[in-house]
Structure formats: C-alpha cells, structure tokens
Amino acid sequence: MRAVVIQGFGAEPELVEASVPEPGPGELLVRIHAAGLNPFDWKVADGALDGIVEHSFPFVMGSDGAGVIATVGSGVTDFRPGERVYGQFMQLPKGQGSYAEFALVDAAGKVATIPDHLSFTLAAALPTATVTAYQAVRAMELEPGHTVLVNGASGGVGQSAVQFAAGRGARVVATAPGDLTDHLRELGADHIIDFTAASVVDEVRATYSDGIDAVLDLVSGPGAPNPFAVLLRAGGTLVSTNGAADPESLASQGRTGVNLYNSATRQDLEALAGLAADGKIRVRIDAEVALSDAPDAVAHARSGQATGKTIIVP
C-alpha cells in the first residue's frame, strides 16, 4: 500500500510503499477513503509527544480518517467487514496513522460507524477539530442568553465551536480576520472582532461592560496569565485547548478554568456523525488532495493560511 511517513522527528513527510498491516485481536483494518489533515499531525511529527508516548519509526502520519472495514481481528463483535467507519487512527507505538490506503484502529477505541448519507470526506473532517469543539462547548455549560467569546474562530475547532455555542442559544463573539466575517455570521456568530485591527479585550469590554459568561481560547499558550480571564463575570468559565487556563487562580476568583484535550469517544463520534449527516453542523472543506500530494499539503497547512479542512484522498 501507499502511505505518507516520516523517518524521524522533524523529517520531511514522504510517500512510500509499505506492507498492508494485519489486524490483531480487537482491531479493525480499514480501507481509507478520506483522511483529515490537522495541525496535531505535524506537531506529532515534530516531536510534540516525544517522551510521553512511545513512537515507532517510520510512522504513518495522520489521525483522522474514514473508510470501509476490510477485515477484523479476533474478538471483534461490534463491527463487520464492509461497514463504513470513521475515527482517530493514530497509533504511534505501532507506527500507524491515517495518511495511507489502509489503517488499523482499535475496535473498542475512537471509532464509530458512518450514516449512509454522510460522505467520507465530511466524516474525515470531524474526529479531531469538531470533537474538540463539541467537548469544549459542553464543558462551558452554556445556557440560552449566555455570552461566549471564541478566540480563534477562523480554524476548524473555532468554526465548529461557534455553531455548537449558537445552537445552545448563546450569544457568540468570535475573533477572526475580517474576510471571514460573513462566513462566521452564517455559522451563528453575533459579533466578529477582527483581531488584526482591534484589541479583543478592549472591544469585548466596551460592548459587554458587565462581563461575559465563558471564553473558549484556542490560541493562547501556557506560561502566562490568560489575557481573556479578565473578561469573565463571577461564575464564568474559561476553556483552553492549549493548556492556557489556570484552574487554581480562576477558582480563587470565583471562576472556572478547564484545560481540555481531545478525547474522542464512540458516543461523541456517533452523535457528531448524526449531526453532520442531518446538516446540523457545517465543516468548511478547503481542498481535497491526492495521497501523493499530502507532503505538499502538510507544508501548505504549516504556513497557517488555511481557513478550512484539507482532506487527503488515497
């Protein structure tokens, strides 16, 4: 089979011929029809999990994927060959990922079936970005009438978070470049702040002088006080996907801090597949590229110019 691999941390992705893996006990072998490209993929390739998770080299890049079960390992009872499935395929200790014609996944892990009327392309866009948004908005416990700031709404997580928050009846303030204003309004944002032209904190304070109920910060990193915590009213919640929340400090101020990391479950994957199939969650697809063009697609995505998902089609 063809696969996109790296030979070591920091190495350039390359297309190679590799053996089709054999499913072990409890595993599925899936013929990949679409793989979603995420920033997490190249961060892992650069060594983000070095020393935290065992790695085998060369390893196949990619986490998100969708396809058809080719064979199942012993002990698998929940799935059968021919079923359409999607989920997260990255298994670093085995050197396995989704940028390939075939991939392995634990049948008891981060995988779920795809409704017949949901495309492989859209399914492959969901497992990392949209699941993260779904879990983050759930963690904020938004109620109708609440005001939430989504900092970093131009990316895949942010665009999904805008939709989920609006769906809960919240007033959504989103930060993004000005050229995405119309698109984010279509997704449900009430107020878009062009962070390249104005201070986000100053503009939120000017508009919502009593404070806001929640912040989803997809941009700030750890190591410094979160700049958006000052916007929260008493009882508010700040959720960070980059470890930029300080739960103890926020608790001392009567607020809640949550550092959230994607943890896809079959239940959440099934729920999101249903929402996407029914048109209740939209994902902007920037491009579909062939597996042979995946190394170039990764390089382009690294430039930070993407405003939607890139899908790799083996």
Per-residue pLDDT of 72-83, as tens digits, reads 999 999 999 999
Q: Return the pLDDT at 307.
A: 67
pTM, to two decimals = 0.94
Confidence of residue 302 (pLDDT cuts 50, 70, 90): confident
pLDDT at 215 over 90: yes
Q: Are strands 171-175 and 64-72 parallel, antiparallel or unpaired?
A: unpaired
Do the beta carbons of residue 12 and residue 6 sit within 8 Å?
Answer: yes
> pLDDT tens digits for 243-264?
999 999 999 999 999 999 999 9
What is each CA distance from 58 to 10, 46, 115, 165, 261, in whole angstroms? 12, 13, 34, 40, 26
pLDDT at position 133: 98
- Mean of pLDDT values over 166-189: 96
What the chain holds in terms of domains, given with CATH numbers, is 2-128+264-313 (3.90.180.10), 129-259 (3.40.50.720)
The pLDDT of residue 290 is 98
Which residues make beta-bridge pairs with 2?
A: 17
HEC per residue, the chain: CEEEEECCCCCCCEEEECCCCCCCCCEEEEEEEEEEECHHHHHHHCCCCCCCCCCCCCEECCCEEEEEEEEECCCCCCCCCCCEEEEECCEHHHCECCCECEEEEECCCCEEECCCCCCHHHHHCCCCHHHHHHHHHHHHCCCCCCEEEEECCCCHHHHHHHHHHHHCCCEEEEECCHHHHHHHHHHCCCEEECCCCCCHHHHHHHHCCCCEEEEEECCCCCCCCCCCHHHEEEEEEEEECCCCCCHHHHHHCCCEEEECCCCCCHHHHHHHHHHHHCCCCCCCEEEEEEHHHHHHHHHHHHCCCCCCEEEEEC
Given this model, what pLDDT does residue 306 score? 67
CA distance 286 to 181: 17
Q: Band of the pLDDT at 303, cuts 50, 70, 90?
A: confident
Report pLDDT digits (tens) over 92-146: 999 999 999 999 999 999 999 999 999 999 999 999 999 999 999 999 999 999 9
